[in-house]
């Protein structure tokens, strides 16, 4: 059985910051894992470098479950985004190694393909409704079957999901967090008009999605969901912060708009009540922030019992390694729903060469053994880490609010 010989953390900023773990066995097989936690990158790098790597050396690389339990239970301090992203990176790298040794793409080790391709949704953004809808049309012309619509809110200078200039949307944009202003009243008025125009111009043969980014109260979310019912959304994402899972009961009482939650979740415990009480329709936990393939499979199995489908987070702050891992998982998991897809910058693609591909609304992980993705260390070294924070939000009276 191959033993782990070495492991190292690579922090680099090819277009944005990424944290990568690279594990190598005594036989010289290596695997890679994504450990990026947007705006808190170095905390995970230190967790891995100072506390995890010393415990990995000499362990059998094939014992993925045992190593997962060792890092989760063995640390005494459980859960949390830093811990779970670090465990996830180890888990991804070990699955990558196992696949390479087996000579099989990861999805084959997970039970094989349950579908031909992974349906993805893209981001159509615009400062106005017209711009957002036109962006949606352009994506549909590229074959996308599902489009997330986000538009600027009249009266607010900036809005989640809408780029500031001509550059692609990237929220982690400042050395110290940018401060944005938020008004729920203005936002609530603008969203139904966006989807009315969306259905009018894009038709009914496309799935439309929207992200409220944790900014509503439960009763506001109920009202927005109700207002959007005529436009038959695929999902309304993160209507409220989900620390209080019970609050979704109130939303459910008022609307049949499907709900998607969980991109900030770290473990099965964060989703347990939402899934068991069927308070959501899609679970957005991801391979990088929710403990890797090993733990995400457990979450998906629980969800399957309650007709909840997967809808993994896939913003550009998840590296191509996480994207590759998600695509293998999505191809195999029985209760797959949809996968988020935001194209990475060309520079990111250069540093992380990969076999996954997009065609006609679907993605496929490719058939190279393991994850089918790697890091070009020499290229990565040319782009040093640069501190970057996500913005914070304040209400118009100055009160700090959810971003």
Query: What residues make contact with ligand GCO under the rule CB under 6 A?
Result: 38, 171, 211, 213, 263, 313, 315, 317, 340, 390
Active site residue 160: yes
- CA pair distance 208, 85, nearest whole angstrom: 30
* Strands ordered across the beta sheet of 400-401: 179-182, 392-395, 400-401
Looking at the Cβ atoms of 263 and 374, the one nearer to Mg ion is: 263
> Of ligand GCO, Mg ion, none, which one sits near residue 291, judging by CB under 5 to 8 A according to partner kind?
none
- CA pair distance 362, 200, nearest whole angstrom: 25
Looking at the Cβ atoms of 67 and 221, the one nearer to ligand GCO is: 221
Distance of closest approach, residue 263 Cβ to ligand GCO, in angstroms: 6
Distance of closest approach, residue 39 Cβ to ligand GCO, in angstroms: 7
Selection from 396, 382, 403, 389 nearest residue 13 by Cα: 382
Q: How far is CA 109 from the centre of its chain?
A: 22
> Of Mg ion, ligand GCO, none, which one sits near residue 392, judging by CB under 5 to 8 A according to partner kind?
none
> Of Mg ion, ligand GCO, none, which one sits near residue 370, judging by CB under 5 to 8 A according to partner kind?
none
Looking at the Cβ atoms of 136 and 171, the one nearer to ligand GCO is: 171
β partners of residue 180: 393
For residue 227 the two structure tokens come to: 């207002």
281 binds Mg ion (CB under 5 A): no
Asked if 338 and 304 count as a contact pair (C-beta separation under 8 A), the reply is no
- CA pair distance 121, 107, nearest whole angstrom: 21
Distance of closest approach, residue 313 Cβ to ligand GCO, in angstroms: 6
Looking at the Cβ atoms of 270 and 374, the one nearer to ligand GCO is: 270
Looking at the Cβ atoms of 67 and 296, the one nearer to ligand GCO is: 296
Asked if 34 and 92 count as a contact pair (C-beta separation under 8 A), the reply is yes
Within positions 261 to 280, which residues make up the interface with Mg ion, using CB under 5 A?
263
* Active-site pick, 47, 107, 139, 160: 160
Q: Which listed range, 64-72, 102-110, 173-181, 204-212, lies at the site for Mg ion (CB under 5 A)?
A: 204-212
Measured CA distances, 339 to 78, 100, 273, 320, 380 (Å): 28, 25, 23, 14, 27
Burial readout 270-309 (b: 16 or more C-beta within 10 A, e: otherwise):
bbebbbeeebbbbbbbbbbbbbbbbbbbebbebbeebebb
Distance of closest approach, residue 29 Cβ to ligand GCO, in angstroms: 31
41 binds Mg ion (CB under 5 A): no
> Of ligand GCO, Mg ion, none, which one sits near residue 113, judging by CB under 5 to 8 A according to partner kind?
none
Distance of closest approach, residue 38 Cβ to ligand GCO, in angstroms: 4
- CA pair distance 293, 259, nearest whole angstrom: 23
> Of ligand GCO, Mg ion, none, which one sits near residue 340, judging by CB under 5 to 8 A according to partner kind?
ligand GCO
Cβ neighbour number for residue 157 with a 10 Å cutoff? 9
Distance of closest approach, residue 208 Cβ to ligand GCO, in angstroms: 15
Q: Which listed range, 51-59, 260-268, 288-296, 320-328, lies at the site for Mg ion (CB under 5 A)?
A: 260-268
Distance of closest approach, residue 123 Cβ to ligand GCO, in angstroms: 7
Q: Which listed range, 95-103, 167-175, 184-192, 256-264, lies at the site for Mg ion (CB under 5 A)?
A: 256-264
* Active-site pick, 30, 213, 289, 341: 213
Interface pick for Mg ion out of 34, 41, 91, 211 (rule CB under 5 A) = 211
> Of Mg ion, ligand GCO, none, which one sits near residue 38, judging by CB under 5 to 8 A according to partner kind?
ligand GCO
How would DSSP label each residue in 253-281?
Answer: HH--S-EEE-TT--SHHHHHHHHHTT--S
Q: Element (H or E) spanning 336, and its range?
A: strand 336-340
340 binds Mg ion (CB under 5 A): no
Asked if 148 and 122 count as a contact pair (C-beta separation under 8 A), the reply is yes
Looking at the Cβ atoms of 117 and 161, the one nearer to ligand GCO is: 161
β partners of residue 395: 182
How would DSSP label each residue in 110-138?
Answer: TT--SSSSEEEEEEEEESSHHHHHHHHHH
Distance of closest approach, residue 292 Cβ to Mg ion, in angstroms: 20
Looking at the Cβ atoms of 94 and 216, the one nearer to ligand GCO is: 216
Binding positions for Mg ion, rule: CB under 5 A: 211, 263
Q: Which sequence positions are flagged as catalytic?
A: 160, 213
């Amino acid at each position: 059985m191959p033993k782990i010989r070495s492991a190292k953390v690579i922090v680099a900023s090819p277009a944005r910051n990424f944290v990568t773990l690279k594990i190598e066995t005594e036989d010289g097989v290596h695997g890679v894992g994504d450990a990026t936690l947007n705006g808190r990158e170095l905390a995970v790098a230190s967790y891995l470098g100072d506390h995890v790597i010393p415990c990995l050396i000499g362990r059998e690389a094939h014992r993925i479950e045992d190593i997962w339990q060792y890092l989760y239970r063995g640390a005494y301090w459980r859960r949390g985004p830093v811990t779970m992203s670090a465990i996830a990176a180890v888990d991804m790298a070990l699955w990558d190694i196992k696949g390479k040794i087996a000579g099989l793409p990861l999805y084959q080790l997970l039970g094989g393909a349950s579908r031909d391709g992974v349906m993805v949704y893209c981001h159509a953004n615009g400062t106005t409704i017209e711009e957002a809808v036109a962006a949606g049309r352009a994506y549909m012309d590229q074959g996308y079957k599902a489009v997330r619509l986000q538009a600027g809110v009249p009266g607010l200078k900036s809005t989640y999901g809408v780029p500031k200039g001509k550059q692609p949307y990237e929220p982690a944009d400042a050395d110290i967090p940018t401060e944005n202003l938020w008004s729920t009243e203005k936002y609530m008025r603008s969203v139904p008009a966006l989807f009315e125009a969306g259905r009018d111009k894009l038709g009914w043969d496309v799935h439309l999605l929207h992200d409220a980014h944790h900014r509503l109260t439960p009763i506001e979310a109920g009202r927005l969901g109700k207002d959007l019912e005529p436009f038959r959304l695929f999902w309304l994402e993160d209507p409220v912060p989900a620390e209080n899972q019970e609050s979704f009961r109130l939303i459910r009482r008022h609307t049949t708009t499907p709900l998607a939650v969980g991109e900030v979740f770290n473990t099965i415990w964060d989703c347990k009540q939402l899934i068991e009480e069927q308070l959501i329709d899609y679970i957005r936990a991801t391979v990088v922030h929710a403990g890797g393939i090993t733990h995400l499979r457990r979450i998906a199995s629980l969800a399957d019992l309650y007709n909840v489908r997967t809808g993994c987070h896939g913003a550009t702050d998840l590296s191509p390694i996480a994207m590759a891992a998600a695509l293998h998982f999505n191809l195999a998991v029985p209760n797959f729903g949809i996968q988020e897809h935001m194209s990475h910058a060309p520079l990111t693609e250069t540093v992380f060469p990969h076999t996954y591909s997009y065609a006609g609304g679907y993605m496929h992980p490719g058939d190279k053994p393991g994850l089918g993705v790697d890091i070009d260390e020499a290229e990565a070294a040319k782009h040093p880490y640069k501190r970057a924070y996500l913005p914070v939000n304040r209400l118009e009276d100055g009160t700090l609010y959810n971003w």
